[in-house]
Amino acid sequence: MDFTNESNKALKVLQNGGLVLYPTDTVWGIGCDATNTAAVEKVLTLKGLDDKGLVCLVASDAMLERHVEKVPDLAYDIMDLATKPTTLVYDIPKGFASNVIAQDNSVAIRVASDKFCKYLIGKFKKPIVSTSANLQYQPIALNFKEIDKAILTGVDYVVNLKPENQYAGPSSIIKMVIDGRVKVIRE
C-alpha cells in the first residue's frame, strides 16, 4: 500500500465520522474528527473512557493557532527545544467537539511531526484525535502487535503503513497557561 492510497482511505473514514487506527510520531493512535461529537463519543466508548480530554493532532502551527484562543510564545520555544514528541495543553480551545475538551476548558494538542499524520491532517483540514490504541486501565501498546483485538475490530479502518520514526512511548504533556506558567503533566 502506498502513502497516498492509505491517506485517502483514512480521510474518507474521518470525513464520515468513523475511527481510524494509525501510526503517529509516538505510539499507534485511534483517531477521529476532533470537531465531531459523535465520532469522539465512539472513541470514548471503544476505549471504555468515561471522562473527557483527549490528545489531538494538528498539521501545523497555523492550524494550532486557529484552534486555541492564544498560543503563548513559550509554547513555540518548548516545541522547538523538545527532544521527544511533546503535547501541550492549552486553555480556551476553539472549534473542538465538547467531549474533546477537558473539564477545565483546555485541550491537549501536538503539532504532528510524522509525515503521514501531517499529510492526512493537512488534507482533512481539521484536528484529529490521537489517543493511544489501548483500552482504559490497560498498558499502552508500544507497537502494533500489542494492540488489543477489541481496538483492532472496533475501528473502521487500520492504516496499512509502518511508523516513520515512531517514538516508543507516549508523548510528554505540558500544560500551558495564558499567564505564562507551565506544568509538566507527563514527562
Q: Does the pLDDT of residue 16 top 90, yes or no?
A: yes
Please state, rounded to an integer, the average pLDDT across all residues of the chain: 89
CATH number of the domain enclosing 77:
3.90.870.10
| Non-local CB neighbours of 102 within 8 Å, separated by 6+ positions | 52, 53, 89, 108
> What pLDDT, in 10s, does the model give residues 128-177?
999 999 998 898 888 889 999 999 999 999 998 876 665 567 787 888 76
End-to-end CA distance of the chain: 35
Grid cell at residue 99: 467531549
What is the helix (H) or strand (E) element at residue 63, kind and residue range? Answer: helix 61-66
C-beta of residue 54 within 8 angstroms of C-beta of residue 42: no
What is the helix (H) or strand (E) element at residue 40, kind and residue range? Answer: helix 37-47
CA atoms of 182 and 178, how far apart (whole Å): 9
Grid cell at residue 94: 476553539
Question: For the chain, how many structural domains are there in total?
Answer: 1
Domain that holds residue 43: 3-186
Coil/strand/helix, residue 148: coil
> What pLDDT, in 10s, does the model give residues 101-134?
998 899 999 999 888 999 999 999 999 999 999 9
Q: Does the pLDDT of residue 183 top 80, yes or no?
A: no
CB atoms within 10 A of CB 91: 18
